[in-house]
Every structure is written in C-alpha cells, then in structure tokens.
Chains A and B, each alone.
Chain A
Amino acid sequence: MGASGAFFDEMSGADGTTRPHYAAFERWLNSTAPERIERKRVQADALFRRAGITFAVYGEAAGTERLIPFDMIPRIIPADEWTQLSAGLRQRIRTLNAFLHDIYHDQEILKAGIIPAEQVLKNAQYRPEMHGVDVAGGIYSHISGVDIVRAGAGEFYVLEDNLRVPSGVSYMIEDRRMMMRLFPDVFAKHRVAPVEHYPDLLLDTLRTVAPNGVLDPTVVLLTPGSYNSAYFEHAFLAQQMGIELVEGRDLFVTNEGVFMSTTRGRRRVDVIYRRIDDDFLDPQAFRKDSMLGVPGLFAAYRAGKVTLANAIGTGVADDKSIYPYVPDMVRFYLGEKPLLNNVPTYMLRKPEDLAYTLEHLPELVVKEVHGAGGYGMLVGPASTKAEIEAFRARIIAEPEKYIAQPTLALSTCPTFVDSGVAPRHLDLRPFVLSGSEVHFVPGGLTRVALKAGSLVVNSSQGGGTKDTWVLES
C-alpha cells in the first residue's frame, strides 16, 4: 500500500492502456459528441430534481434539499473481481453476525482473550439491555453497507462495516435507472448485471426474520420523518417493497405486540425495518427525549413480539475501535483465512500508537471512533498546518476518541469535471442482506470525491455518485 504518487486507475493500467473491461465503454465515449454528453448531464440534473431525489443537509437552513451530483462515467467491475469480493463480503458479514450473537450471549471471544473484554463491554455502542435477548434467526445485522476501497496496486480494503442504518442503496438503483434512460445504446454493448431487484431481496430477507410462528408477516419501514436527510430513500424503499412507511407516532405497543394506527383501526406489525438510531427507538428504554420513537417498543422486542432490522446494539461491531479485530474474528468464528484486507489501524488509546500518530499527523487519516458521514475527521495530506494543529489538540485532550490509519492511495476513475474528464478518487459500498440466507445484488453504490485530490467521498461533504457495473462473464 502507501501512496507512490501514481494511483491505481479503474479504467487505465499503469502503462496508460485501457483495461479490457473498460474497452467497449471507452470506444463508446470517444465516439459520442461532448455536446450530447453535456445535454444528457443537464437532462439528468433536471430529472433528479423533478423526481425529488435529493438529500437534506444538516447544518444548513431547515429544509435545504440538494442533489447528489451524479457522474455519467460508470465504475466497472469485471466478473472475476466481483466473485472474489462477494466471497469476502459474505464471510465478513457472517462473522460480524456471529460476533454480535456471541457478545450478547456467552462472550466466548472475550473469554478466549481475542479482544480485551473492556473494549466491548465498556464500549458506548454495547447495549447491556440486549444481553441474553434471542433475536429471530440469530441475525443482528440484516442490512450491512460495507465500505470498500481499492488502493496500492489494486487490492481491496474494507474501510468500514456499517451495521446500524446504512444508507445509499436508493442512489444505486436510481443511478442505474438514470443511466439506462440516458444511454440505452451503451447498455446494449455491455452485459451489466441488474441491481433493480434489490427491494425484492430486501423484503424477502425481512420476511424470513419475522417472529416465530408468524406465517404472513407485516413488514413496515420506520422513518424519523420527512425532514431526515435520507427520507427520499425511506420513501423509495417502502414504495418499492409495497410496505407502509411509518413514523413513531403511527405505532403503539400493547401487551399483545406492536400495532399501527390505520383508517380501519389497528393493524399488527411483525417486522420493523427501522431507519432510526438505537438511541431514539424507545423513550422508555433509551433516550427519554426522543420524539421519534415508540414507547414500549423495546419491551415488545425483548419479548419476541416484533423483529427489528437491524437489531439493537449492532453499533459495537462496526465501531472503529473494534474494526481492527475483525480478521481475528473471522479466524475465531469460521476457522477461515480472512478474504478481505483490513486497513492497518492505530488505536490512540494505546500510548505507543498515540505517540506514532502525533509524530506523523501530516501523512495519516484520523477519525473519531464513533463518527460517521465524514464529519469530524482529519485527512493529514489534504490539511493545512493550522488544521492539523487544531486537530492535534483535540487528540491530546481525548486520545481514546480517535483512531488513525495510513492515508490510502484510493483508486481513481475518470469523472466529468468542469475542465473535462479527470481522475477522481472513489469507494464502493455493497449492501449485504442477511436473513435465513445471505443475499446481495452485484455491485453497490460508488461514491466519488469531486474535488481534485480529495479522498472524502461522503455526500454530506460534496461527494457524488456513479453507476456501478458488474459485468457478467
């Protein structure tokens, strides 16, 4: 790994020749007039805007809605690479579900000394309330969004396992629809694996984890409401699955279970795909000031009357302080060799790691252990001296809140920018579904940093998206 100056480019090899899986696309691109591309770009913007495929930005005026920039050059993954990646994803998510079951039951991994017990049990994301609770099918993370990057000479690394309420899958589907609408001709020249059946797979997955004995479960999607940044996605998924999109105030709990209030009285709810964080789910069990949750939901959940997807307490498994142990978990639970690489991680609660990090801040990426969305992080090589020094003070004040990693030379892909087409860094978030079986659609959401040299791909930080093509062999 390590930045050698040249980055791995998805489209072109080190010698400048086009990689075979991009050859047909490049021929198409070169034969297409720039004016046509520009017209299509304007058309795509208008279509996304009219369809309200937007996200709300926190910290800006209330109700501000922005488009996520959409880039028209797809990220293409050849079949053999996807086969390798998907095997690794399957292994990793099976492991993390086994880990969650273990730490909320017998805690074998702690007894074996693989992970220091206090790292798990004292973690803010560990939910003691979940200890001894049997969840349907033993599955905790039903929907996982694993952030994958490619660095160095092209190896894949897992940057982050998102096991709480990962978002972005609607853009994966909308980007595909947009590409097919704008450029039907280019699809005729490629065998692109479809992704639009994701909502079907998701609904199937959710139905397989209904409470015991429920034959025809009612599934709902629980949203914080229309001011949430991901509301478009919540509405989109509920609509595509044909299930009710509920808010906390639509649900109530009795001794019999969880119900929703309908125009024809109450109706039982069996599975809740919740897009609300643990803390806000139930003011009786967690944050008392939550206006979004359902009083009594946790008690009904503990009693096995309803399934929550994802389960409560998954955050401990995607916490950045637990992340370094995932390869050990694979070996411990599955007895297998880890297929996906982890990024080497310095844990700043350790004095020697802290000392190293403070000496090498300009070349490292420093992240908050509990942070997400690209907020509260330092990208050393892209920061000014003053920014680095300000961050240094924060680290020294609370070192246990941070981890550090080498700055990965993220791979690039040609991207439309103001000056034409230029390489921009990207990542990939495949969505892994775990019910009675593990499913996913080929590919995932590709996010791209639109600023030259930037490594931050988050939409809240000005990142864009690309359609992601897994080519069928």
Chain B
Amino acid sequence: MLSRTADNLYWMARYMERAENLARVLDVHHRLSLLPQSAGEIERQWTATLDIMGMLGSFRERELAVSTDTVMHFMMFDRDNPSSIVSCLRAARENAHTVRGTLTSELWEAINATWLKLNDFAPARLAETGPTEFFDWVKHRSHLSRGVTVGTMLRDEAFHFTRLGTYIERADNTLRILDVKYHLLLGAHAPNDSAVDYYQWSALLHSVSAFEIYRRVYRDQITPTRVAELLLLRPDMPRSLAYCMREVYGLLQAVANGRSSETQRRAGELEASLRFGRVEELIADGLHEYLDTALNRILDLGQRISNDFLVPVTT
C-alpha cells in the first residue's frame, strides 16, 4: 500500500475518533456546567476542559472571555480551530476523499454523508434544541463509520492502518479524559465535597460510556482507584488503555516492515505493563503522573508509526 494512502486512512480514522471523543468530553462538561455553582467555578471547569484537550493556548489567542457559550462554540463549530468537532469531521472527510478508491463505497458514503449533514447543525438551531442532540449525532455517525469499517472492509493493510488510527487516538483520549479530575482540582478554592466528587467521577464514566459498566463490574461506590483500574487495565473494556494497546500491538504486528521493530517493541512493552500491572503500583506516584507518562508514550508511538510507515521512502 502507498505510504500516503496509509497516512490518509490512519488520519481519517483518528479524526473521526477524535470528533467522537470531543463530543463525549463536551457533553459531560456541559452537564457539569449546569450544576449550581459560581461563575468562577464554571470558568475554571471550562478552562480545565480546554487544557485537557490541548486547546487552551489556541483559545487564549482569541482573547475571548471563558464562558459556556464561547468555549463550546470554539470546540464545536469554529472552523478556524483545527481541533474543533467541525474541523475534525472535515479533516476525516478530506482524508477519506483522497483515498475514496481504497475505501468500500459504503464507508466513503457514510463519511461523506456525515459531512453533508453537518451543515444542517447551525449554531443558532442548537440554541433551541440544546447541544446534546448534536453530541449524540456525532457519536452516532462515528459509530456508523466504525461499524461500516468493520462490517465491509477487507482485512488487509488498509483496514489495519484505519484501525491503528482509531486505537491510537482512543488511547490518547482515554488518558486525557481520565486526567480530568486532576485538572478540575487545579486551583480549586474549596476542598472537594463528596457530592461534587461523586458527580464528577460519574460524569467522567458517562463520558466514556462506562457508567453502567462500572456498576456491573464493581457493584460498589465509585472510587478513583477503581475508575483508574477500569479505564487503564480492564482488558474487556473497549475504551480502556489496555484494550487499545492490545489492539495497537496486534495491528503493528500485522503491518510490520523492515523499519518497525523498535516501534513494535515499545508498543509491546506498554501493552505488557498493562496486561500484568496492578493499579496500585501504576499510580503509586500519583494518577496524574502516570497518565502524563503514558500519554507521552502514546505520542511517541504515534510519531514512530508516522516515521516507519507513513512518510514516503525516496530511494
């Protein structure tokens, strides 16, 4: 497969997954912002959201006041913000368009139809319906793209690079979402009270479709250590880091070439540490510290995948 084609497939999947995760994060933060609290608290939460998703710097360049409206618009509809949901869906569609001949026609049509339909969601209309309808739609379209991918594509390199994009992006996003508590606590004036604490942890679980899963697995109250265990180590939880890394490792074996052995080794090392690790040990130095390290390892893998497979050779 052409390196450029693999690159387009990989980023098509990453942007689609990123759009979905943004919708999840925003949905939760929007709900949190509706709780009775001070304007300062709301501002702090939105600042945290921007920070988690790596958009705080670009938002500050706009010199806008931090409010529910400005931040949500920036993260949802701002075409000049390359990380907004609209920009992610556009990038997914542009990557798909470039390799439409490699995709099944059903997959191309699903992604193209998402892009065409996006124009119906004017910000003004959402003022009436509320943003949840939009978040649900984005998640639904992402589910559809993924389902069509799994349901129609030949299990060849095209499929493997597409899935690699999905799982690298999801691993990245799961780590960021799990770090939300750390960001929420930054600069908090009042000591956390337990009701707020519960609401924040459960919102976090909701954002990764894990609230019911948590109840089923633990049948107990929500504790930070168990949330971390669920989202880091559970091999049967499809958004956990362990699950994503098992997929990433397997996919890297499937696409291995003469340059990629070190990348495989690093992916395998991380995968093994999650398969055999215990949550108490992983987070012994603090959850945030672990997440920070893990996120850097995912970023490193992403960089290595680009160098090994996606950047054209010239000799």
- The answer to whether B108 and A52 touch across the interface, beta carbons within 8 angstroms, is yes
* Complex contact A226–B94 (CB within 8 A): yes
B16 / chain A contacts, CB cutoff of 8 Å: none
Q: Is the CB of B5 within 8 A of A244?
A: yes
Q: A254 near B97 (CB under 8 angstroms)?
A: no
CB under 8 Å from chain B, chain A span 198-234:
225-226, 231-232, 234
Residue of chain A at shortest CB distance from B98: A226
User: If A50-B116, A261-B312 touch, does A250 touch B101 (CB 8 Å cutoff)?
Assistant: no
Task: Select one of B4, B102, B116 contacting A247, CB under 8 A.
Answer: B4
- For A244, list chain B residues within 8 Å (CB): 1-2, 5
A265–B2 contact, CB under 8 A?
no
Q: Are B5 and A50 in contact (CB under 8 A)?
A: no
Which residues of chain A are within 8 angstroms of B116 by Cβ–Cβ distance?
49-50
Q: Are A254 and B315 interface neighbours, CB within 8 A? A: yes
* B3 and A261 contacting across the interface, CB-CB below 8 Å: yes
B292 at the interface (CB under 8 A from A): no
Q: Are A263 and B112 in contact (CB-based, < 8 A)?
A: no
Q: Do B257 and A264 touch across chains, with their CB atoms under 8 A apart?
A: yes
Q: Does B286 sit within 8 A of A, measured CB to CB?
A: no
Whether B257 contacts A263 by the Cβ 8 Å rule is: yes
Q: Cβ of A235 < 8 Å from any Cβ of B?
A: yes
**Segment 6-58 of B: residues with Cβ below 8 Å from A:** 6
The interface centre, meaning the residue of B2, B157, B310 with most chain A CB atoms within 10 A of its CB, is B2
- CB <8 Å contact, A238 and B2: no
Residues of B within 8 A of A265 (CB): 257-258, 313
Q: How far is the CB of A272 from chain B (nearest CB, A)?
A: 14
B109 touches which one: A50, A238, A260 (CB < 8 A)? A50
Are B6 and A263 in contact, with the CB atoms below 8 A?
yes
The A interface is mostly helix, strand or loop, or mixed, namely mixed
A261 touches B313 (CB 8 A): yes
Q: Which B residues lie within 8 Å of A49 (CB)?
A: 116
Q: Tell me if B186 is interfacial: C-beta within 8 Å of chain A.
A: no
Number of residues from B at the complex interface, CB < 8 A:
30
Contact of B100 with A by CB under 8 A: yes
Within 114-159 of A, Cβ neighbours of B (below 8 Å) are at none
Complex formed: what's the CA distance from A50 to B113 in Å? Answer: 6
Those of B161-194 within 8 Å (CB) of chain A: 161
**Distance between A123 CB and nearest chain B CB, rounded to angstroms:** 35
**Distance, CA A51 to CA B105, complexed state (A):** 7
Once bound together, how far apart are the Cα atoms of A265 and B6, in whole Å? 13
CB of B159 closer than 8 Å to a CB of A: no
Residue of A nearest to B109 (CB): A50
CB within 8 A of A246: which of B2, B108, B257, B309? B2
Q: Does B314 contact A (CB under 8 A)?
A: yes
Q: Are B101 and A266 in contact (CB under 8 A)?
A: no
The 0/1 profile, CB within 8 Å of A marked 1, for residues 107-136 of chain B is 011001100100000000000000000000
Report which residue of B101, B257, B309 has the largest number of chain A beta carbons within 10 angstroms of its beta carbon.
B101
Q: Report if B150 contacts A (CB, 8 A).
A: no
Determine whether the beta carbon of A263 is less than 8 Å from that of B100. Answer: no
| Chain B: CB-nearest residue to A231 | B97
Q: Does A249 contact B (CB under 8 A)?
A: yes
A51 touching B109, Cβ below 8 Å? yes
B255 at interface by CB-CB < 8 Å: yes
Q: B101 touches which one: A50, A235, A261, A263 (CB < 8 A)?
A: A235
Query: A223 to chain B: closest CB distance in Å?
Result: 10
Residues in A299-352 with C-beta less than 8 Å from chain B: none
Q: How many residues of A contact B (CB 8 A)?
A: 28
In the assembled complex, which residues on chain B have CB atoms less than 8 Å from the CB atom of A263? 1-3, 6, 157, 161, 255, 257, 309-310
A239 within 8 A of B: yes
Residues of chain A within 8 A of B97, CB atoms compared: 52, 226, 231
Contact (A266, B315) CB under 8 Å given A52-B100, A52-B108, A226-B98: yes
Could you tell me which residues of chain B, from 193 to 213, have a CB within 8 Å of some CB in chain A? none
Interface residues of A in 28-87 (CB under 8 A from B): 49-52
- Give Cα distance in the complex from A262 to B157, angstroms: 11
Are A262's CB and B101's CB within 8 A? no
Q: How far is the CA of A247 from the CA of B5 in the complex (A)?
A: 10
Report the minimum CB–CB distance from A296 to chain B (whole Å). 12
How close is B45's CB to chain A, nearest CB, in angstroms?
A: 37
How close is B96's CB to chain A, nearest CB, in angstroms? 9
Q: Which residues of A contact B161 (CB under 8 A)?
A: 263
Say yes or no: B101 contacts A52, CB within 8 Å: no
Which residues of B sit under 8 angstroms from A52, Cβ to Cβ? 97, 100, 108-109, 112
Residue A179 lies at the interface, judged by CB distance under 8 Å to chain B: no
Please name all residues of chain B whose beta carbon is closer than 8 Å to the beta carbon of A249 when the two chains form the complex.
4, 312
Instruction: Kindly identify, within residues 253 to 296 of chain A, every residue whose CB is under 8 Å from any CB belonging to chain B.
Output: 254, 260-266
A245: Cβ under 8 A from any B Cβ: yes
Closest B-chain residue to A261, C-beta based? B312
Bound CA–CA A309/B250 (angstroms): 41
Q: When chains A and B are docked, how far (Å) is the Cα of A262 from the Cα of B161?
A: 13
Q: How far is the CA of A60 from the CA of B283 in the complex (A)?
A: 56
Chain B residues near A50: list those with CB within 8 A.
Answer: 109, 112-113, 116
Given the known A-B contacts A49-B116, A52-B109, are A260 and B2 also in contact in the complex, defined by CB atoms under 8 Å?
A: yes
A262-B3, A265-B313 known; A245-B258 Cβ under 8 A: no
Residues of A within 8 A of B5 (CB): 244-245
Which residues of chain A have C-beta atoms less than 8 A from B1's C-beta? 244, 262-264
Residue A416 is within 8 A (CB to CB) of chain B in the complex = no
Q: Give CA–CA (A173, B102) in the complex, Å.
A: 19
A25 an interface residue at 8 Å Cβ cutoff?
no
Complex formed: what's the CA distance from A236 to B97 in Å? 11
> Which residue of A has the minimal Cβ distance to B312?
A261
- Once bound together, how far apart are the Cα atoms of A264 and B308, in whole Å? 9
Query: Residues of B contacting A262 with CB < 8 Å?
Result: 1-3
27 contacts between A and B (CB under 8 A): A51-B105, A51-B108, A52-B108, A225-B98, A226-B94, A226-B98, A234-B101, A244-B2, A244-B5, A245-B99, A245-B102, A247-B4, A249-B4, A250-B312, A252-B312, A252-B314, A260-B2, A261-B2, A262-B2, A263-B1, A263-B3, A263-B161, A263-B255, A263-B257, A263-B309, A264-B1, A265-B313
**Chain B residues engaging chain A, CB cutoff 8 angstroms:** 1-6, 94, 97-102, 105, 108-109, 112-113, 116, 157, 161, 255, 257-258, 309-310, 312-315
- Residues of A at under 8 Å CB distance from B? 49-52, 225-226, 231-232, 234-236, 238-239, 244-247, 249-250, 252, 254, 260-266
A-B contacts besides A239-B100, A263-B310, 15 pairs, CB < 8 Å: A49-B116, A51-B108, A52-B100, A225-B98, A226-B97, A244-B5, A245-B101, A250-B2, A252-B314, A252-B315, A254-B315, A261-B2, A261-B314, A263-B161, A263-B257
